[in-house]
Structure 1
Amino acid sequence: MLLSKALVFIFFLPKLVVSSSNNNFIFNGFRDANLSLNGLADITSDGLLRLTNNTKAGLGHAFYPLPLHFKDSSKSNGTILPFSTTFAFVIQTKDDDVSGHGLAFATSPSKELTGAFPNQYLGLFNNISHGSSGNHIVAVELDTVQNMDYGDINDNHVGIDIEDLKSVTSHEAAYVADEDGDWKSLKLVSGKPMQVWIDYSAMDMQLHVVISPLGVPKPRHPLLSTKVNLSAIILDDMYVGFSASNGAATSSHYILGWSFSLNGNMQALDSSQLPFAPSLGKKRISPLLMVVLPLVAVLLLLLSLGGIMLILKRRKKYAEVLEEWELELGPHRFSYKDLYKATRGFKEEYLLGVGGFGRVYKGVLPSSKLEIAVKKISHESRQGMREFISEIVSMGRLRHRNLVQLLGYCRRQGELILVYDFMPNGSLDKFLFDKTKSSLSWSQRFQVIKGVASGLLYLHEEWEQVVIHRDIKASNILLDCEFNARLSDFGLARLYDHGSNPQTTRVVGTIGYLAPEISKTGKATASTDVYAFGAFLLEVACGRRPLEVRSIGESPGLTDMVLECWKRGVLLNAKDPKLGNDYVSEELELVLRLGLFCSHPEPTSRPSMRQVMRFLEGDAPLHLSPDRLSASVSASSYDYSFDNVILSYPSIADTSTSARGSSMEAITLMHSDV
């Protein structure tokens, strides 16, 4: 009797089986399952594995807790073992028209995926790691948001991703019914359970993906089939599991069951044992409540005038400017409420700095815990705002390791708010000029120089459009946690172009970095960026600003000083004294000479950023003599015709200062702002 009861008890246990070799396992529901979870992922009381809930810009990971040995130890060539997996899933969304970004099955060297982003990155990559040959991630994505940057075919497709968000092959979600041989479409966000099969044959290196409604036998015709050698991608030991992410819109991503086999026969899921996803049925309001609720609301409004004022005050606190044309920009727009909470109401203790384009605050998004930098820019004029916002969103597509990533924007009353990646080490100028900061070593400075050059080359020549920075200087170079250089504020000068009177020319930049021809043309070009980069090179190597006002009538230039040292044969005397003997003389001489070359007063005599990169990488020699530069560079000393336009740029002069004030006072104001 006791034995029969025990057998009945065992039979009705949830079918959670893990093989002793750890190479084969099956979960028919996840109650009491041992998985590695992070982000929004959790296991519900019904035994569902929920990767995300209705949290915006959130992500969730669920991985099998032990690494699996994917390589055939009996062979020396690192051959991958064959593997198969199947899982049942449901994606629920409150609105049929919008949803989160989808989910993916992935093999990864790490079960944490530290640093991965939500939104279009599916919780697998970030703006730097996607496309990198070193991430060793292979994934099958169920993508529910179309992203043109990654070549998505639509907002309802299945794709195979090899170390990149650009799928090597993809297809609209569908399956072939075996009974009639016709393709039948599937809607991934329908809220209906579906099943996916993924099989990799090591012998012929074929990867197959099949999808169908749950309960339909596995179709014989695969949705996706591609030949790919995973031996160089998959490492000896890898983790397997799931990732999902949300953006501005949200979905709940559920896994109902999962089976996996490495070099063996995979067990089939038992659909009768799988848990059900929760219902999203909409509750109807009774006619009585439809009448009573408005009456109660009116009564409360009449009796609670103080409450009304409080609500209006709160609405004003979070009020935004949102025009109809901005709706198409989608996830690039952040809510002011989220940014207000991220910065604790833009408190002074979160203030990172004040620059020409506004005040910058550190913030942490409440949903994703992502650290961000929030820049508030005052801009009362609406002229050209639509064009500028379009440019800002376009620049959000810039992807380079030496550019600060622009994540999105928000508009509120007379303010434009931009959201960037947070750079923990702040701006470069603090390490050059702030005596309370430790000085950078020469190797760090040289690496920063090459990083800035690489970022400028990308802006000038390697992106789909030419982007002119217009204000290159140490305070606009930010440093990440590893002291890698990131160019910031590129393109922000366009805001003032759009907001200015079309009959006037606004000069944008900082005295000491402005090319001489700007005083005549007022136009910024790639060559004027190169000139500013030359001043930046001398600034980093010498530890001095390009123009330092010491007394009335005296404005010694850094270019003249370096050139004079070179003519006297003591070029290295111009170096920053804080470097001591910790430098490579050949590199330091190269940077000083290249700084003079880029600072040539004739635009046509300056090198391009591609040539600059060749000099810095040692791929081309820099042949230049001081005598050849002496006369022309000396002629490029400070031009007092700039005095009439200094006041047009708010980062270098107080806008309340009269244009009739002395030019030296204007320069002093500029330096007090830097």
Structure 2
Amino acid sequence: MAKTLCSLGILLFFCSLFLKSETSHFVYNGFNGSNIVLDGYARIKDKALKLTDRSKNVIGRAFYRSQIPMSGNSSPNAISFSTHFVFQIVPSDTNRGGYGFAFILSPSTQLSGDGGQFLGVVNPSNDGNSSNHLFMVEFDTVSGHNQKSDRYGNHIGININGLNSIYSESASYYNGLTQRKEDIDLEDENPIQAWIDYDGLAVNVTVAPFPTISKPIKPLLSLPINLSKVMKDFMFAGFSASTGKRASSHYILGWSFKLNGIADPLDVSQISAIPAEKSSSSQNKLKRALITTFSVVLFLLVLALISIFTYRKVMKFEVLEDWELDCPHRFQYKDLYVATKRFNESEIIGVGGFGTVYKGVLQATGAQVAVKKITSNDTLKGTREFAAEIESLGRLRHKNLVNLQGWCKYKRNLLLVYDYVPNGSLHSLLYSSMGTVLSWEQRFNIIKGVASGLLYLHEEWEKVVIHRDVKSSNVLIDRDMNARLGDFGLARLYDHGQNSHTTNVVGTIGYIAPELTRTGKASKGTDVFAYGILLLEIACGRAPVTYEPDRNAILVDRILDCIQTGNILNAVDSKLNSTYAIEEMELVLGLGLLCSHRKPESRPTMKEVIRYLNRDEILPVFDKLNSVGSKRADLIRSRFMALGLADDSIVTTSSIPSSSAGEMSTSSFEISGR
């Protein structure tokens, strides 16, 4: 038995050595049949790894398929590594290209990076986050990140977790004979070789023309750094490139990688430069000459065809208006018609005040989308609401907001195309009759997600966005149970430092701040009020207003009754079966009441809300509060009263004049004052 166990142990030991060797050492003198994961535009062409072509606004990524063990057992530092690769950048034949590419070590092959200057690695919301655990060396051909305008770049930089280089130099190399620094153009359409070496103490980056110059003795970049806190135990190695308004083809022609040693040299005889991508100007001249010649003969026929085509075009499509010019991708109506099975009722996933939402599958890509078809008896009103949502959501990008993919305006049909969010709305999950119960952990995560999205709208985007309809049915839950705030049909935008000029009352009963009924002016504070009601709804599992005769009609009244009787936790959703963190629950209930205070000046900002939720600051109700049973309850009640939260200071929906009810439903939309 002992011999058997010993033999099995030896076998496992050698297997682990084999697997580690396979994942920590590889050489590709061409990529046909290689063990590479491709993402986005990336593809294998003529033995080369082509990350992008000269199309605008594309992203291409490629990773070695297996994870690489990046931590050593005998040292706190990250394990050493070395990589050698040959690349070639072919710019547009009309001007300088863009935007370059990066070698990256990442804990995942699934990156949420944007194109252009972000190189497909990160986006504005996660750029620089320490949780990214990214190491990258960028070969940048257009500088401009965090600068006012793009300009000629041609530099190489070492980056940690984002696009800001901690060390960079203009692309160059040290001549082996003279040790003079020679410039090298990353976009001169000739292959260039690069070496990246890390010995556990410093990163060295070296470049040189390929294949005429061997590896220079002196590196271009040498940065003392400890990567053990950056890299996780297992990482993926690969490349990412992107284009934007400018475009280049980005190729990797050969690649070798090795842990704890020097990467093997590449076989020059097996690596070939990509032939120059010829301009088609001469072909275009020939085509124009042929067209001109034939047009003389076919003039009358062509004129007739143009007339017919123009007539049908005018009849089929409406003229683009000013607001349409800066909007995101415009879909063809026929594609959305097919995607939603002719807007079949079986595909309906939601119905709101301004339209019906259908699930769709785009034939071209197979991607699932949500298509909102706006309906309105007032065509002008519907068009304005449509424009409002495109203008706001169309340019917003945040992980806790619903992403608008594009739009379509066809005759009297107004359509918006979003990412498909599979788990539906928070409202449907809270009040599900299918036995589904959101856990407290999931609810608290949703609360923090909505707060993060509102903070972005109020403080972090280029303009202030007032959502004006924060409620549970407008919070969608994605595949990972994260919250994404959507439905921006009532949103208003204005510049930071200015006040909103909105003068009409809109929203949903139960979430409308009391000052709206007096002034009609929406503000950050009115969004905070609605967010506070949402907190109470999530914690208590009850709608803001109910119509059951044996229960308190107003949710806030129910909570205040519980405070008066000495235990605020009696208001908590019974479906949780007391399975929740008491301090978190008290925090959410107290914060919900504070956010829904009748006095706008007494409400916190969303920045303060985030600090309370992250425990960076203590909510005034709970400051210096011990955890002794009845004494704690008495202290909480007295502090609520001291803050004006446990008497008649909370103005609930029951105090709103009934004559205003019609003006405050989600169907009351007016564009004036935007």
Give the TM-score range, shorter chain: 0.7 to 0.9
Q: Which whole-Å CA distance do the structure 1 matches of 2:566 and 2:220 have between them? A: 71
Q: Is the 8 A contact 1:210 1:221 kept in 2?
A: no
CA distance, structure 1, for counterparts of residue 179 and residue 410 of structure 2: 57
Is 1:344 matched up with 2:339? yes
Task: Please say if residues 91 and 247 of structure 2, whose CA atoms lie closer than 8 Å, have aligned partners that are also in contact.
Answer: no
SS class of match (1:395)? coil
Task: Look up the SS of the partner of 2:205 in the other structure.
Answer: strand
CA contact (8 A) 1:320 1:336 kept: no
Q: How does 1:313-324 map to 2 (within 5 A)?
A: 313=312, 321=320
1:599 aligns with 2:596: yes
The alpha carbon displacement at 1:268 in A equals 4.5
**1:142 equivalent in structure 2:** 139
Spell out, residue by residue over 1:490-546, the C-alpha distance to the aligned partner (whole angstroms, 9 max, x if none). Answer: 69522799xxxx998222322221111112222223322222122212222333322
Give distance in 2, aligned partners of 1:24 and 1:341: 47
Q: Deviations over 1:566-599 (max 9, x none)?
A: 3244644544444445445554455444433333
Deviations 1:598-642 (A, max 9, x none): 332222333444554555556446244466545524665545557
TM-superposed CA distance for 1:429, in Å, is 0.6
Name 1:195's counterpart in structure 2.
192
Q: Is the 8 A contact 1:72 1:79 kept in 2?
A: yes
Deviation of 1:132 (Å): 4.0
Q: Distance in 2 between matches of 1:240 and 1:521?
A: 58
1:239-294 per-residue CA deviation (whole Å, 9 max, x = no partner) reads: 43323345577654322233444444445445554334244321424375133443
User: Does structure 1 residue 333 correspond to structure 2 residue 328?
Assistant: yes
Q: Deviations over 1:79-103 (max 9, x none)?
A: 432424131323354753665x543
For 2:227, give the aligned amino acid.
Answer: L
Secondary structure of residue in 2 paired with 1:527: helix
Following superposition, the deviation at residue 444 of structure 1 comes to: 2.5
**1:389-468 alignment runs, 5 A limit:** 395-396=396-397, 399=398, 401-405=399-403, 420-436=418-434, 438-461=436-459, 466-468=464-466
What SS does the aligned partner of 2:492 have? helix
Give secondary structure in 1 for the equivalent of 2:484: strand
Task: Map 1:599-638; keep pairs closer than 5 Å.
Answer: 599-613=596-610, 616=613, 619-620=618-619, 622=621, 623-625=636-638, 629=645, 631-633=647-649, 636-638=652-654
Look up the SS of the partner of 1:439 in the other structure.
coil
After superposition, residues 52-71 of structure 1 pair within 5 angstroms as 52-53=52-53, 58-71=58-71
Given candidates 351, 354, 371, the residue that maps to 2:351 is 354
Which residues of 2 match residues 156-195 of structure 1 at below 5 A? 156-157=153-154, 158-171=156-169, 173=171, 181=180, 184=183, 186=185, 188=187, 192-195=189-192
Q: Aligned partners of 1:174 and 1:376: how far apart in 2?
A: 55
Secondary structure of the structure 2 residue equivalent to 1:231 = helix
Amino acid at match of 2:134: I
Contact between 1:512 and 1:546, CA under 8 Å: does it hold in 2? yes
Inter-partner Cα distance in structure 2 for 1:640 and 1:383: 28
Shift of 1:335: 3.1
> What is residue 51 of structure 2 aligned with on the other side?
51
Work out the CA distance in 2 between the residues paired with 1:156 and 1:325. Answer: 33
* TM superposition shift of 1:205: 0.8
Q: Do the aligned partners of 2:51 and 2:62 also contact (CA within 8 Å) in 1?
A: yes
SS of equivalent residue, structure 2 residue 449: helix
Q: 1:128 to 1:505 in 2, by over 3 A?
A: closer
1:114 aligns with 2:110: yes
Residue 463 to residue 394, structure 1, CA distance change in 2 (3 Å): same
Q: Please tell me the residue identity of whatever aligns with 1:559.
A: V
CA distance in 2 between partners of 1:25 and 1:572 (Å):
60
Deviation at 1:431, TM superposition (A): 1.1
1:566 matched to 2:582? The reply is: no
2:274 is matched with: 277
Check if 1:96 corresponds to 2:92.
Answer: no
Q: Which amino acid aligns with 2:85?
A: T
Match for residue 15 of structure 1?
Answer: none
Shift of 1:474: 0.5
Offset of residue 65 of structure 1: 4.4
- The one-letter amino acid of 1:521's match is T
Residue equivalent to 1:652: 667
Residue aligning to 1:514: 512
Partner of 2:16: none
Q: SS at 1:438's partner residue?
A: coil
Residue 557 (1) aligns with residue 554 (2): yes
> Could you tell me how far apart the structure 2 residues matched to 1:95 and 1:509 are?
51
Q: For residue 6 of structure 2, what is the aligned residue in structure 1? A: none
Instruction: Kindly tell me the number of residue pairs found equivalent between the two proteins.
Output: 614
Q: Determine the C-alpha separation between the residues in 2 that align with 1:262 and 1:580.
A: 52
Q: Distance in 2 between matches of 1:252 and 1:47?
A: 15
| Separation in 1, partners of 2:34, 2:611 | 56
Q: Aligned-pair distance for 1:203? A: 6.0
Compute the TM-score of the two structures, normalised by the length of structure 1: 0.74
Residue 83 of structure 1 is matched in structure 2 by 82
Cα deviation, 1:458-488, whole Å, max 9, x if unaligned, reads 5445667654332221112121212122233
140-149 vs 197-206, which moves further = 140-149
Contact 1:154–1:172 at 8 Å: present in 2 too? no
Residue segments in structure 2 that go unaligned for 5+ positions in a row? 1-19, 622-635
C-alpha distance in structure 2 between counterparts of 1:458 and 1:563, whole Å: 31
Whole-Å separation in 2 of the counterparts to 1:522 and 1:271: 73
Contact 1:56 1:367 in 2 (8 A): no
Partners of 1:145 and 1:374 in 2: CA distance: 36
**Which letter does structure 2 place at the counterpart of 1:30?**
F
Name 1:16's counterpart in structure 2: none
Deviation at 1:230, TM superposition (A): 1.7
CA distance in 1, matches of 2:366, 2:525: 41
Cα distance in 2 for residues equivalent to 1:201 and 1:407: 41
**Which amino acid letter does the alignment assign opposite residue 339 of structure 2?**
R
- The residue type equivalent to 1:63 in the other structure is F
SS of equivalent residue, structure 1 residue 632: coil
Considering only aligned residues, what root-mean-square deviation do their CA atoms show, in Å?
4.8
Cα 1:31–1:595, aligned 2, differ >3 Å: closer, same or farther?
closer
* 8 A Cα contact 1:359 1:375, kept in partner: yes
SS of equivalent to 2:229: coil
Match of 1:226 among 218, 223, 227: 223
Segments of 5+ residues of structure 1 without an aligned counterpart are: 1-18, 656-674
Match of 1:12 in 2: none
1:35–1:62 CA contact under 8 A, matched in 2 = yes
2:291 corresponding residue in structure 1: 290
Letter in 2 for 1:334: H
Match of 1:254 in 2: 251
| Aligned CA distance change for structure 1 residues 255 and 450 (closer, same or farther; 3 Å) | closer
Which aligned pairs between 1:22-33 and structure 2 lie closer than 5 A?
A: 25-33=26-34
Query: Match for 1:445: what amino acid?
Result: R
Q: State whether residues 362 and 371 of structure 1, in contact with CA within 8 Å, keep that contact through their aligned partners in structure 2.
A: yes
